Amino acid sequence: MAAPVSLERRLRADVAERHAVFRYFEWLKDHHKVAVGSLVVAAVGALVTILALGRDVTGLEFSRNDEPRSVMSPASDPPGVVLPTPTPIPSYMPETPSETPSKTPSTAPETPTNPPETSSEPSPGVRYLDELDADDRNGGYVREPVNMAGKRYLRSVQLSCNSTRTYFVYPVAGMKTLDLWLGIDDQTTGASGRVADLTFYSDAGRQIGSTKTAKLGPAAKVQIPLDEVTQLTIRCVGRELKSGDQENVAHVAFGDAILSAQP
């Protein structure tokens, strides 16, 4: 009866031993899982720490697809959300006033102009008598401005006029007219009460027009035709206005005397 008991005990001991070994391996396996899990948790914590430090240092964060994205970049709009279009603000630009100044009427007094009788530059085909020299003469003459009745004539010639016939011969070939203002200069000495009679002659000795008289006061406009005249002779005789007696007249003025090639 002893043998069966011993075998049963041995069998029970063997089973108990196998259960102990199995529990030991189960324990090892469970602790191995715990250790591996602890390592995984520790690694994840370290990774999170590294990422947090990297974001603080570099200013970058990582999206789900591991692509770096700037922290300062604006987040994308959520899908399906439509933002309203902003209403444009109309710009207003004030009109610039015209900078063109209006003309201010001048209050300065007008400067009186010279009388129309004063000389100006002649046109083509025109010459002043003061540009010529007399080819022949028995009296004196001067080229200078004159004043007659307060009017000034710049391009003028003054001829002496004695009691006898005084003459002057001028070359006028190609000219058609001689235009002048005839008179006596306001400052001529001894001219008060006296006048001068002037006659004009062609080459053949033919008198041109009527006799002209020069006197103090306003000048008289005179025109002498010069058709077919190459040498113009001017004769002058001075006299007393009241008695008609011949007297010397110091000067007879030809104010702004112009020779023109046009009729």
pLDDT for position 251: 94
Per-residue pLDDT at 16 exceeds 60: yes
Asked whether 150 and 185 are in contact (CB, 8 A), the reply is no
DSSP state of 204: T
Q: Which residues contact 135 (CB under 8 A, 6 or more apart)?
A: 169, 170, 171, 231
Q: Which residues contact 160 (CB under 8 A, 6 or more apart)?
A: 139, 140, 141, 166, 236, 249, 250, 251, 252
Per-residue pLDDT at 58 exceeds 50: no
pLDDT for position 214: 97
pLDDT for position 46: 66
Tens digits of per-residue pLDDT, 158-204? 999 987 789 999 999 999 999 999 999 999 999 999 999 999 999 98
Tens digits of per-residue pLDDT, 67-109? 444 444 444 444 454 545 555 544 444 444 444 444 444 444 4
Instruction: Check residues 240 and 124 and name the one with the higher pLDDT.
Output: 240
Tens digits of per-residue pLDDT, 221-238? 999 999 999 999 999 999
Average pLDDT, the chain: 75
Give whichever of 90-94, 119-123, 142-146, 241-245 has the largest mean pLDDT: 142-146
Instruction: Check residues 32 and 57 and name the one with the higher pLDDT.
Output: 32
pLDDT for position 60: 47
DSSP state of 246: B
Determine the longest span between alpha carbons in the chain, in angstroms.
Answer: 215
Torsion, Cα 35 40 41 42, to 10 degrees, reads 90
Residue 10 CA neighbour count, 13 Å, CB half:
6
Per-residue pLDDT at 219 exceeds 70: yes
DSSP state of 184: -
pLDDT for position 147: 97
CA-to-CA distance for 29 and 67, rounded, in angstroms?
39
Asked whether 168 and 184 are in contact (CB, 8 A), the reply is no
